Structure 1
Amino acid sequence: MMPAHQLPAALAPFVATLSAYDLGTGSAAGVHRGLPSTTVSITIPEEPMEIAWLGRPSSRRRLQAVVAGLHLEAAELRQAGGTRGVWLTLSPMGAGALLGVPAAALAGHFVEFADAVPAMAALPERLASCRTWPQRRTAVVEALAAALARHGANADAPRQRAMLAALSGSGRVHEAARHLGCSRRHLSNAVRADLGVTPKEYQRLVRFEAARGELVTAARTGTVRLATVAAASGFADQAHFTREWRTMAGCTPTEWLRAEGPAARTP
């Protein structure tokens, strides 16, 4: 994984992660559960993949590469004929600065990469011609740098960053609004316009994402205590955590760790 601090300085505010992935081998090879998060994700597989919202088979589509906006339900990705690819996540501000598409326009949707970002439509083919991960990483960074030069950082980015930081740092929407010096209604309208979700939904994503990180860290140390993960992530208790995880991920935390945790495969 390539964290933001290892990216060129101009891209670091907009790219959360850039990594190669391998869905592994075995009975579940080629299958991945795309979990909710606070970022816009881009998956560029070696082979086309099928993607659908979990439990909604009618939503299934076959795509060459996938852009997914903020969403509060899990997706199922199936990749046949190859299990590897490139995965990157963008901050909500990064959607506009690098894709030329506001995060709100992508919320709750997954779309073909070439349709969402016509100017970068050749990137999957370029990656397919690369023989090593460093070559692929360089190709992605160059494409993103060119995109940033085309679109430029949104003048509203500082306001958006402050808004998201306030929501992430407080447990209640009214607390975030008070910190920002605005009304709850004003904050709600701004978040909906920028992200396509409500402030409360964004806070749910923040909490869920924190819990995912805590789960992975705990699994790597060999000791997973759900009550500890729940407390560290801002949930009222373990029951609240498990209920929310099942709602948003479509499985229990333990089931997800068993299938896709660090001991199972690379995300």
Structure 2
Amino acid sequence: MTIVPAQHRPAALAPFVTALSAYDLGPAGVHRGLPSSTLSITIPETDSLEVAWPGRPGSRERFRAVVAGLHLDAAELRQRGGTRGVWLTLSPPGAGALLGIPASALSGHVADLAEVAPALAHLPERLAACRSWPQRRALVEDALIAGRARHQDNGGGRDLRAALAALSEAARVQEAARLLGCSRRHLSGVVRAELGVTPKEYQRLLRFEAARGALAAAGRAGAADLAAVAAASGFADQAHFTREWRVMAGCTPTEWLRAETR
């Protein structure tokens, strides 16, 4: 999947949109959607998008544009015909701030953008009419800014933002609770209600995400030292890293890297 680097985002979107890019799935038109600590929105320029969960029999569905919640297993995205479009990721508070729903409403599954946010149903057709990436980017940003104005009372609140910051900083959930000055039970309640995953699962996503970034960087440098990637990402050892990658990505780190760089 080829990504065009995103430009500077408007201030109104900066806390909520973590990436906004053009994409091209290449000749095969297939992409492995890996677990992440963010929600994603994929909008094809033409045709539609087929999404399947390899570990979930009968899960194959087709969408004109798709929103994916936090998930701990990989999805397969297949786009026939034109393979280009716009891809963006939202922080968990961004689901409420821009779409008007908590991230927990989408946890573990995907949904059509038009059903989640009817006001954005026009985006696929209007994107198809754009002639350049700056036009497409501006169209999406304007639609999201309008969503922020509609849902200005949403966004997860201070408790959620503090909880996510503490979980990102701490190595363990109990440590995060101490940083916040609350019980582990209270922290768990806030995170589950807003994200649909447990604090431990959220930290698992963060660790996997860090490993994915480190692995991709090592691959671009020409040699991926899996032991070094494992250590830098917080895994006990290379074997732990490889087991976790197989479970969450559905392949080995080396297989994923080979597919991403071919």
Per the normalisation by structure 1, the TM-score is 0.94
Question: Is 1:142 aligned with 2:134?
Answer: no
Tell me the amino acid that sits aligned with residue 90 of structure 1: L
Q: What pairs up with 1:1-267 in 2 under 5 angstroms? A: 1=4, 6-25=8-27, 29-46=28-45, 47-152=47-152, 154=154, 156-260=156-260, 263-264=261-262
Q: Per-residue CA shift, 1:100-147, capped at 9, x if unaligned?
A: 111010101100110111111111111011011111001001101111
For structure 2, the residue ranges without an aligned partner over 5 or more in a row are none
Distance 1:211 1:129, change over 3 A: same
For structure 1, the residue ranges without an aligned partner over 5 or more in a row are none
Residue 158 of structure 1: CA displacement?
Answer: 2.7
Residue 165 of structure 1: CA displacement?
Answer: 1.0
For residues 152 and 85 of structure 1, the distance between their equivalents in structure 2, rounded to whole angstroms, comes to: 28
For residues 107 and 17 of structure 2, the distance between their equivalents in structure 1, rounded to whole angstroms, comes to: 17
Distance 1:110 1:156, change over 3 A: closer
Residue 154 of structure 1: CA displacement?
Answer: 2.9
For residues 95 and 171 of structure 1, the distance between their equivalents in structure 2, rounded to whole angstroms, comes to: 26
For residues 252 and 239 of structure 1, the distance between their equivalents in structure 2, rounded to whole angstroms, comes to: 11
For residues 5 and 20 of structure 2, the distance between their equivalents in structure 1, rounded to whole angstroms, comes to: 5
Residue 156 of structure 1: CA displacement?
Answer: 4.4
For residues 143 and 220 of structure 1, the distance between their equivalents in structure 2, rounded to whole angstroms, comes to: 34
For residues 214 and 103 of structure 1, the distance between their equivalents in structure 2, rounded to whole angstroms, comes to: 26
Per the alignment, in what secondary structure is the counterpart of residue 77 of structure 1?
strand
Contact 2:16/2:93 (CA < 8 Å) preserved in 1?
Answer: yes
For residues 170 and 63 of structure 1, the distance between their equivalents in structure 2, rounded to whole angstroms, comes to: 38
Compare 144-153 and 232-241 and name the one that shifted more.
144-153
For residues 258 and 23 of structure 1, the distance between their equivalents in structure 2, rounded to whole angstroms, comes to: 15
Residue 54 of structure 1: CA displacement?
Answer: 1.8
Tell me the amino acid that sits aligned with residue 42 of structure 2: T
Distance 1:215 1:155, change over 3 A: closer
For residues 19 and 69 of structure 1, the distance between their equivalents in structure 2, rounded to whole angstroms, comes to: 18
Identity of aligned residues (%): 71
Residue 171 of structure 1: CA displacement?
Answer: 1.4
Tell me the amino acid that sits aligned with residue 81 of structure 1: G
Per the alignment, in what secondary structure is the counterpart of residue 23 of structure 2?
strand
For residues 82 and 74 of structure 2, the distance between their equivalents in structure 1, rounded to whole angstroms, comes to: 22
Per the alignment, in what secondary structure is the counterpart of residue 58 of structure 2?
helix
Per the alignment, in what secondary structure is the counterpart of residue 70 of structure 1?
coil
Tell me the amino acid that sits aligned with residue 15 of structure 2: P
Per the alignment, in what secondary structure is the counterpart of residue 138 of structure 2?
helix
Tell me the amino acid that sits aligned with residue 51 of structure 1: V
Tell me the amino acid that sits aligned with residue 131 of structure 2: R
Runs of 4+ in 1 over 6 A off after TM superposition: none
Q: Per-residue CA shift, 1:90-109, capped at 9, x if unaligned?
A: 00000000001110101011
Per the normalisation by structure 2, the TM-score is 0.95
For residues 15 and 111 of structure 1, the distance between their equivalents in structure 2, rounded to whole angstroms, comes to: 19
Residue 155 of structure 1: CA displacement?
Answer: 6.6
Per the alignment, in what secondary structure is the counterpart of residue 19 of structure 2?
strand
For residues 164 and 246 of structure 1, the distance between their equivalents in structure 2, rounded to whole angstroms, comes to: 26
Residue 159 of structure 1: CA displacement?
Answer: 2.2
Residue 2 of structure 1: CA displacement?
Answer: 5.0
Q: Please report the RMSD computed on the Cα atoms of aligned residues, expressed in angstroms.
A: 1.3
Query: How many aligned positions are there?
Result: 258
